[in-house]
Amino acid sequence: MNSDLQLTKDFPILDRKVHNTRLVYFDNAATTQKPEAVMSAMTQYYQTSNANVHRGVHTLSDESTLAVEKARKTISSFLGADASELILVRNTTEALNGILYGWALHNLAEGDVVITSQLEHHSNFVVWQEACKHTGAELKVIPVLEDSTLDYKWLEANVAHAKLIALTYVSNAVGSVLDVERVVTVAKKVGARVAIDGAQAVAHMPVSFKSLGVDFFAFSGHKMYGPMGSGGLLVRSELFKSNEMQPWLFGGGMIAEVYENKTKFHDDPIERFTAGTPDVASAVGLAAACEYLSKIGMKTVEKHDEELVAYAFEKLQAIPQVTIVGPTSKRVGSVSFLYEGVHSHDVAQVLDSQGIAVRSGHHCTMPLHVANNWIATTRASFAVYNSKEDIDLLVLGLQKVAEVFGK
């Protein structure tokens, strides 16, 4: 079955040429391109309704307030959450830092354990190093198996005293997918909270925050066709009600009353966790991205991704110099590989000369690369606008690598 969705017309940047050839964009795990619908929604907001929220009784302020409230509902609904469970932030990194400052510093202590893994992006690794440094908790790291999937038996054997298990849903480096249900089951045995880095999942598969049963879910808008500087942290509502999750930014907007010697924060979590002026345009843009994906259908998006990954495997495995790293099945979003005798940066530079954009290096996953003795890898990551023809061009580009380096 042809997996090509024929959506390039929706993305103006894909009309441009790079080095006098058609752009083939395979750096989607770093950031996706934006459809016209997203850019138009943001432009329309700025041209018609730009004003500060909640602080005026005039028409534009009312419209701006309604715009951000509508965006929150669209975004949270897309991810199977209530609007009251969504904190708008700039990206996944800020969301994870929100868990650090809003939860970890108030709930961790000496003798507690935080568990993360060798698969993690640095934003879901360094933040927990800092949490443990400041609270005296111990950081434990789940090792990966030979195929770069998690060693769940290790987790089950080392979960004692865990207060938080923080893991990525989909690895940005090798595309392996977390068994969230199994992790939640393990966490419940010891009463640990579960935080999920969902940055690489939201653009490739249906996600339901309530169905996952986790406590925190972080994501970025710019990896799901939304604007840079947009994203969210989903927090299970019970953690707001009990004040287990506390504000970490303070100022106007999130208060109910302010006196010289005390301040009362707003009862509504949406208000309490919005200090200062929100980025309304980015929220509108992210909501438009959610609507764009919803129109395609996330099951269709998931199938498209599966077919592209399978096709890339088939084509790349036929190249003698290429070794694909990571799992061979149940893989999402990308294919990463080593090219024998050639550094990934050199591979990427030759591919760029052919108009093909890939990512090279350690992809902010040094612990994973060190564990596998990979100096660096080359990653081709996919989006709804990519096609099998694009992958064929990648294969031709790798033939150029062989010509240049004699490999």
Over residues 187-207, the mean pLDDT reads: 98
Residue range 38-295 in CATH 3.20.20.10: no
The pLDDT, as a whole number, for residue 6 is 86
Q: Has residue 116 got a pLDDT over 80?
A: yes
The percentage of residues in the chain with a pLDDT greater than 90, rounded to a whole number, is 95
* Mean predicted lDDT score pLDDT of the chain: 96
User: What is the tens place of the pLDDT at every residue in 162-196?
Assistant: 999 999 999 999 999 999 999 999 999 999 999 99
Over residues 61-81, the mean pLDDT reads: 97
Please state the separation of Cα 19 from the chain's center in Å: 30
The contacts of residue 167 (CB under 8 Å, 6+ apart) are 115, 116, 117, 119, 120, 124, 142, 150, 178, 183, 194, 195, 196, 197
Q: Has residue 1 got a pLDDT over 50?
A: no
Contact present, 12 and 247 (Cβ < 8 Å): no
Over residues 307-334, the mean pLDDT reads: 95
- The region, left, alpha or beta by phi > 0 then psi within -120 to 50, assigned to residue 142 is beta
- Catalytic center residues: 364
Over residues 304-331, the mean pLDDT reads: 95
For the chain, the domains span: 8-31+297-405, 38-295
Q: Has residue 56 got a pLDDT over 80?
A: no
Over residues 392-404, the mean pLDDT reads: 96
User: What is the tens place of the pLDDT at every residue in 360-393?
Assistant: 999 999 999 999 999 999 999 999 999 999 999 9
At residue 360, φ and ψ (nearest 5 deg) are -130, 155
The contacts of residue 9 (CB under 8 Å, 6+ apart) are none
pLDDT level of residue 5 (50, 70, 90 thresholds):
confident
The pLDDT, as a whole number, for residue 253 is 85
* Tokens of residue 84, six digits: 């009251």
Q: Has residue 27 got a pLDDT over 50?
A: yes
Cα distances (Å, whole numbers) of residue 142 to 139, 254, 259, 371, 397: 10, 38, 47, 12, 36
* Tokens of residue 107, six digits: 């709930």
The percentage of residues in the chain with a pLDDT greater than 70, rounded to a whole number, is 99
The pLDDT, as a whole number, for residue 189 is 97
Q: Give, in words, the CATH class of 8-31+297-405.
A: alpha beta
Q: Has residue 202 got a pLDDT over 80?
A: yes
